[in-house]
Structure 1
Amino acid sequence: MRSDSVAQAAAYADNGQLQADLAAWVAFRTESQNPAQRDVLYQYLRSAILPRLQTNAFDGAIYDNPVAGGGPFLLADRIEDPALPVVLIYGHGDVIWGQDDAWEAGLAPFELTERGAALFGRGAADNKVQHLINIAALEAVLAVQGRLGFNVKIVIEMSEEIGSPGLAEMMRSHRETLQADVLIASDGPRLEPDTPTLFMGSRGALNFDLVVDLRDGAHHSGNWGGLLADPAVILTQALASICDARGQIKVPEWRPDSLTPEIRATLARLPETDSSDPDWGEAGLTAAERAYGWNSFAILAMSSGRPEAPVNAISGSARAHCQLRYVVGTDADDILPALRRHLAAAGFDQVEVREADSVPMRATRLDPDHPWVRFAEGSIQRTTGKTPHVLPNLAGSLPNECFSDILGLPTIWIPHSYLGCNQHAPNEHVLKSIFREGMQVMAGLFWDIGAGRPPRAL
């Protein structure tokens, strides 16, 4: 009967129903960055998600965001027996700006379009197809045996693309009702399109500004050159003190202590990549260790004067918008204080460190040898005949700390996209081969959980 469930899941992809359902969901213009689409965020939950869950005996409700400006949440559950294991599932229905004018001819962000092996549309990869697959896989199990054999709780948020404001507050206020044995969710990409991937957390992300503000207005470079301090020169020298010419971090507190032999052994099993610059980043580390086991500093934008129309004048100020992506083993609360100490010790007292308005995300990681990881890995192997790629954490950032830290759950992420999906860019798409296999993977995993073999909460 397990094979029947997996076959039912594959049929949902093969008969065109998954594509039709995804097209209906993509049509909702759920741009969380666009205040004009706020009502659509509610419509997506009210029209696309909640009725489908209620059809499958879920109880659910839509909640306003406790943080001003944030989108709504949907919380739902299906409790078959309080004595059974509980799986928490998460997804987000919001997308970034459609960027309508930048898509290739014949493509539109909120109209699902089939081209060869791919389906194009905003949310086709991030994240509508991913939570659609997980919901439909539950339905595949129910269609075969009429029950899941475990309890399910679902959280769908509509603000992930603006930093998940309010998610932490929701998890705290609903901590008791959201208690579970494990989080199983889907977001991000596979490492390779034809091989399933597991990751158990994400790198943290903290954005901040470095500002040198010396005076009002600019001064003629002939009259004042050599007499007035140049804020751009000061800023670039300060930036150069943070990392060296190959991007190696020089702030001691930003160098993590968590790249253990066990983590390195896990990362050594990943496929090699030829798309990275071998002479960039921490020397002596593999590409996988740099991406998943180490911290990276980036200057996302910087300015002084008017780069688009420069004049012969010394600017009065300079600014750089920066980011630290960091792994477990970095003290998140000390990132900016450590930078201030570092700059002060190097003589850059004129450089001000300002935390950005974006919501920071903390680093999380689950031991790759955790029982739930091994259980999920074995289930995927059983379904596909493939050994999945196992990452201790994603290189990018997700609000995983809301589940791992606030709810105290082991967290398993199984992505249904791939690195070339154009996530956050024009021409976003999903490969039909991935969503078909994703349906099989999730149906097999949910079947195995319901068969009574999973580890219980530790």
Structure 2
Amino acid sequence: MTREAAVSHATDHVDSGRLQSELAHLVGYRSESQNPDRRDVLQDYLAQAILPRLTAAGFDCAIHDNPDGPAKGGPILLGTRIEEPSLPTILTYGHGDVIWGQAGQWLDDLDPFALTERGDRLYGRGAADNKVQHLVNIAALESVLAVRGRLGFNVKIVIEMSEEIGSPGLSRMMQIHRDALKADVLIASDGPRLSAERPTMFMGSRGGVSFDLVVSLREGARHSGNWGGLLADPAIILTQALATITDARGRLQIPEWRPDSLTPDIREALRDLPIGTDGALQIDADWSEEDLTPAERAYGWNSFAILAMKAGIPEAPVNAIAPSATARCQLRYVVGTDVDRILPALRQHLDDRGFDKVRIQPTDRGIFGATRLNPDHPWVAYVRASLKRTTGEDPHVLPNLAGSLPNDCFADVLGLPTIWIPHSYLGCNQHAPNEHVLKPVCREAMQVMAGLYWDIGTDCPAS
């Protein structure tokens, strides 16, 4: 009954091929939350793949309908394993839904929903985001139970099936079950490591708000020869409006979109972090704020993106002035940004420049709030020391992830300190064809989580 035995048990779970086999089973569920035809699969994932395993590990579980309704979001599993009410309680989280499989676009025409091994890579939709991540955490808990016979702490778990469409209903679920989900800390896994060679931990995430900018001037297209120069062009108006939101190098031009939270302590925390590693695209050094480092731009600042644009028929252009033009836009924002002012500030910005014909249309996709836990929090120091004890080196520590997660449901609604330990890496191709996880990362992830759970069951920070 030693920490080393628990870590060894977790390591064997990978080396024996069991983790890979279990991941293959989870990837086989076509749990595309964006696809209304997969609603039954979302339920099956929880009822068939997750609940029986948690029940066998001593959890009391229930699967709840989404409080926003099944048309809005998938079901949510809540589980608890209480060894002794006086013990510390850890809340953990995962999501079993994935984005579209994008079949036909994968390397060698791989089936997105069949886990395929190529060297150290395991390909499959959801392999990295997020199926292996909650699988590793559940398996690591089982390793500690197998060695010690108990955890030495209580665990509560939330598995949702709608994260990829903005986690509708999750915040309400946390509000409804606030008392039942009381805990000392959230320790969960999602997102990528900064480097495949070293664990990462982050304590929050950037928020994300998406919206459409629409210019619609008339019914039907008009011949560009007969009407060119006589009719206003929606696409030109829209592109001119978009060009005012940033300058030519992407610097934000709306004052309310420029945060005030990049403080000296956050800059210090970001100072030595690697950026653009693990085969990711070469970053553009001359993009965004010129007086910020790449790490500050990614983790301490806001970024605007145009996700898609359309006017006319792009796949079959004709000689006609389109009647309308649309752009799907997104602002990723950090703590220190007034979310209630994001769209009103944009409206005022466009009106001041004469773009009253440009409509702002919020999407029906959920908005993730920005969150951040101070890097000197006792739980941060504790988890950091545990990960170092297992691997022999300091993990990378981020105040917040560059991407967006429903962390506000736990940090704001439940009032918890939140720590995320991702089990993927930057080159994993999540949300794209060829999504994959690395076997060495999975192996180390099992080790660090088993070590961390062992430590929590032995001694942890006072609540």
Q: State the TM-score bracket (shorter-chain normalisation).
A: over 0.9
CA contact under 8 A between 1:149 and 1:452: conserved in structure 2? no
Structure 2 residue corresponding to 1:350, chosen from 321, 334, 357: 357
Is 1:213 matched with 2:220? no
Name stretches of at least 5 consecutive residues in structure 2 with no aligned partner: none
Q: SS of the residue aligned with 1:88?
A: strand
CA contact under 8 A between 1:379 and 1:445: conserved in structure 2? yes
Structure 2 residue corresponding to 1:395, chosen from 394, 398, 402: 402
**Residue type matched to 2:42 in 1?**
L
Structure 2 residue corresponding to 1:255, chosen from 258, 262, 286: 258
CA contact under 8 A between 1:448 and 1:454: conserved in structure 2? no
Matched residues in 2 for 1:114 and 1:258: separation?
43
**Residue type matched to 1:201 in 2?**
G
Structure 1 residue corresponding to 2:324, chosen from 310, 317, 341: 317
**Displacement of 1:138 after TM fit?**
0.7
Q: SS of the residue aligned with 1:215?
A: coil
Give the aligned partner of residue 169 of structure 2. 166
Matches within 5 A, 1:330-341: 330-341=337-348
Matched residues in 2 for 1:17 and 1:220: separation?
63
Residue-pair matches, total: 456
Matched residues in 2 for 1:343 and 1:428: separation?
38
Structure 1 residue corresponding to 2:149, chosen from 146, 162, 169: 146
**Displacement of 1:266 after TM fit?**
0.7
Structure 2 residue corresponding to 1:296, chosen from 303, 317, 324: 303
Give the aligned partner of residue 36 of structure 1. 37
Matched residues in 2 for 1:8 and 1:39: separation?
35
**Residue type matched to 1:300 in 2?**
L
Matched residues in 1 for 2:228 and 2:120: separation?
60
Matched residues in 2 for 1:156 and 1:92: separation?
5
Name stretches of at least 5 consecutive residues in structure 1 with no aligned partner: none
**Displacement of 1:272 after TM fit?**
4.3
**Displacement of 1:106 after TM fit?**
6.6
Matched residues in 2 for 1:440 and 1:73: separation?
28
Structure 2 residue corresponding to 1:228, chosen from 231, 235, 240: 231
Matches within 5 A, 1:80-95: 80-95=83-98
**How many percent of aligned residue pairs carry the same amino acid?**
69
**Residue type matched to 1:413 in 2?**
W
**Residue type matched to 1:206 in 2?**
V
CA contact under 8 A between 1:183 and 1:409: conserved in structure 2? yes
Give the aligned partner of residue 8 of structure 1. 9
Of the structure 1 ranges 158-167 and 33-42, higher mean CA displacement relative to structure 2 is found in 33-42
Matches within 5 A, 1:65-76: 65-68=66-69, 69=71, 70-76=73-79
**Displacement of 1:84 after TM fit?**
0.9
**Residue type matched to 2:175 in 1?**
R
- With normalisation by structure 1, the TM-score equals 0.97
Is 1:107 matched with 2:110? yes
Deviation per CA, 1:145-187: give whole Å up to 9, x if none: 1111111000001111121111111111001100111001001
Deviation per CA, 1:375-417: give whole Å up to 9, x if none: 1111100110011111111111111111111111111000001
Matched residues in 2 for 1:446 and 1:209: separation?
44
In structure 2, relative to structure 1, the CA distance for the partners of 1:224 and 1:112 (3 Å cut) is: closer
CA contact under 8 A between 2:103 and 2:109: conserved in structure 1? no
Structure 2 residue corresponding to 1:96, chosen from 94, 99, 108: 99
Give the aligned partner of residue 126 of structure 1. 129
Matches within 5 A, 1:398-417: 398-417=405-424
Q: SS of the residue aligned with 2:243?
A: helix
Matched residues in 2 for 1:154 and 1:453: separation?
19
Matched residues in 2 for 1:303 and 1:44: separation?
36
**Residue type matched to 1:290 in 2?**
R
Q: SS of the residue aligned with 2:409?
A: helix
Give the aligned partner of residue 288 of structure 2. 281
Q: SS of the residue aligned with 1:105?
A: helix
**Residue type matched to 1:27 in 2?**
G
**Displacement of 1:66 after TM fit?**
1.4
Matched residues in 2 for 1:50 and 1:200: separation?
28
**Displacement of 1:229 after TM fit?**
2.3
CA contact under 8 A between 2:204 and 2:373: conserved in structure 1? yes
Matched residues in 1 for 2:324 and 2:32: separation?
34
Matched residues in 2 for 1:39 and 1:206: separation?
28
